[in-house]
Structure 1
Amino acid sequence: MKYKLVAIDMDGTLLNNNNEVSERTRKAIDKAKEKGVHIVISTGRVLKSALYYGKSLNLKAPIIACNGAIIADESDNIIYKNSIDKNLIKSIIDIAKERNIYYHFYDESRFYSHVKVEEVLKFYNEGNKENSIDIKVFENIEEIIEDKDLNVYKFIFIDENKDNLQNLRRELGNIDNIGISSSWANNIEAMGCNVSKGEAVKELCTKLNIKPEEVIAIGDSENDLPMLRFAGLGVAMGNGNEIIKKEADYITDTNQEDGVAKVIEKFILE
């Protein structure tokens, strides 16, 4: 099978534990590009952060961000977007506030939250000092919702108490027209209706005239499952959770052991 597109999650997949792309992975990506393969970042991160890593790898390919809510082309133009209904934003926030769970949400380039958490900003800005992500702290959500130009693409809720998160997930599940997923053991994510990495990869393949069986998708978490299910070859990282490993067609090594590079070498370059 000749694969034409590789969709790669970022955190826990493309990036090692230092938020870096290894030299072996960079070389494998460059060789795959030389063969005409589309290397597509597919991440839950805010678009601005995804674009930074895309440029650092000189991908010159579309970028999928916010769990599939946005696709930007190789010139950074947004070619697809599916934001959360603004009428739902206050209801979503009220549920988090009632449970005293930290949250923030994204537009294309910025975080919004009721409180500034330095650890969160440090995580997203690690290795990205020149193009850092900012956060707008607000007291009243109404002042944010009133902005007609604002598009909210994703909420993320963080809590170390798993029972709190599961209760939050159940309550969010009662709200129509939002999708719910997770990318770490300590978070829950909410997006617009029918938003997923799988839908975004499908949309991109339609534009590029690429068949599902010509796609490799690589990830480590629940939010990667839709694109692994869509792809002809769904690959779980060795450090991935058990849910994704059970559904994967193939399991590679961890993000610390060049797992992504080994997939590209085996299925694209050999």
Structure 2
Amino acid sequence: MKYKLVAIDMDGTLLNSNNQVSERTKVIIEKAKNKGTHIVLSTGRVLKSALSYSRSLNLKNPIVACNGAIIVDENANIIYKKPIDNSLVKEIVNLAMKKNIYYHFYDESRFYSHVKVDEVLQFYNEGNGNTIIDIKVFQDIEEIIKLKDLNVYKFLFIDDNRAKLQDLRMDLDKLGNIGTSSSWANNIEAMGLNVSKGEALRELCNRLKIMPEEVIAIGDSENDLSMLTFAGLGVAMGNGDKFIKKEADYITDSNDEDGVAKVIEKFVLE
């Protein structure tokens, strides 16, 4: 099978524990690009962060960001977007505040929250010095909801108490037009209903006239499952969640052992 597109998650997959892309992976990605393969970042991150990494790798390919809520083309033009219904934003914020759970949400380039947590910003800003993600701290959610052309693509909730997170997730699911997922053991993510990396990848492949069986998807967490299921070859990272490995067609090495590079070498370059 000739694979024409490789969709790659970022955190825990493309990026190592230092939030960097290894030199070996850079070389292998460049070889795959030169062969005509589409290398598509497919991430839960804010678009601005994904764009920065894409540019540093000189990918010049589409990007799926915010867990599939937004797609940009090779020129960074938005070609698809499914933001959260703004009528739900206040209700979601109130749920998090009531349960005393940290949250932020974001548009294409900025975080919004009622509190600034330096550790969160550091995580997104480290590893790639070309991008600084800003945060808008607000006192009243009404001031944000009133912003003209506001697009909220994703909420991220973080708490070490998993029981609290699961309780919040159940409440979010009851809202109706919200879909939930997770990318780390200590977080819950909320997007618009039926928003996922898999659905975004389906949309992108339709535009590129690429069949699912011509796609490799590589990931490590729950929010990657939909694209691993969509792709002809779904690959789980060695450091990935157990249930992701169970559902995958193939398991590669960890993100600190050039797992992504090894998949591309084996299935694209050989």
One-letter code of the match for 2:148? Answer: K
CA positional deviation for 1:177: 0.9
CA positional deviation for 1:148: 2.3
Which residue in the other structure is 2:151 paired with? 151
Which residue in the other structure is 1:237 paired with? 237
Structure 1 stretches of 4+ with a deviation exceeding 6 A read: none
- In 2, distance between residues paired with 1:40 and 1:130? 19
TM-score of the two chains, using structure 1 as the length reference: 0.99
Do the aligned residues in 1 keep the contact of 2:228 with 2:235 (CA within 8 Å)? yes
- In 2, distance between residues paired with 1:244 and 1:115? 33
One-letter code of the match for 2:15? Answer: L
Q: Map residues 162-201 of structure 1 onto 2, 5 A cutoff.
A: 162-201=162-201
Which residue in the other structure is 2:94 paired with? 94
Tell me the SS of whatever aligns to 1:131.
coil
Q: Map residues 1-270 of structure 1 onto 2, 5 A cutoff.
A: 1-270=1-270
One-letter code of the match for 1:97? Answer: M
Tell me the SS of whatever aligns to 2:11.
helix
CA positional deviation for 1:67: 0.2
- In 2, distance between residues paired with 1:102 and 1:124? 16
Equivalences, count: 270
- In 1, distance between residues paired with 2:191 and 2:86? 12
Q: Which moved more, 1:68-77 or 1:122-131?
A: 122-131
- In 1, distance between residues paired with 2:49 and 2:166? 28
Structure 2, gaps ≥5 residues long: none
CA positional deviation for 1:34: 1.0
Tell me the SS of whatever aligns to 1:216.
strand
Structure 1, gaps ≥5 residues long: none
CA positional deviation for 1:128: 3.1
Do the aligned residues in 1 keep the contact of 2:179 with 2:192 (CA within 8 Å)? yes
Do the aligned residues in 1 keep the contact of 2:238 with 2:253 (CA within 8 Å)? yes
Do the aligned residues in 1 keep the contact of 2:4 with 2:37 (CA within 8 Å)? yes
CA positional deviation for 1:167: 0.6
- In 1, distance between residues paired with 2:202 and 2:9? 15
Tell me the SS of whatever aligns to 2:12.
helix
CA positional deviation for 1:127: 2.7
Tell me the SS of whatever aligns to 1:80.
strand
One-letter code of the match for 1:35? Answer: K
- In 2, distance between residues paired with 1:45 and 1:111? 11
Tell me the SS of whatever aligns to 2:13.
helix
- In 2, distance between residues paired with 1:149 and 1:133? 20
CA positional deviation for 1:130: 3.5
One-letter code of the match for 1:224? Answer: D
Q: Which moved more, 1:123-132 or 1:214-223?
A: 123-132
CA positional deviation for 1:194: 1.2
- In 1, distance between residues paired with 2:243 and 2:146? 40
- In 2, distance between residues paired with 1:193 and 1:147? 22
- In 2, distance between residues paired with 1:98 and 1:203? 36
Structure 1 vs Structure 2: percent identity of aligned residues? 75
- In 1, distance between residues paired with 2:205 and 2:174? 32
- In 2, distance between residues paired with 1:167 and 1:180? 12
- In 1, distance between residues paired with 2:95 and 2:130? 35
Do the aligned residues in 1 keep the contact of 2:20 with 2:128 (CA within 8 Å)? no
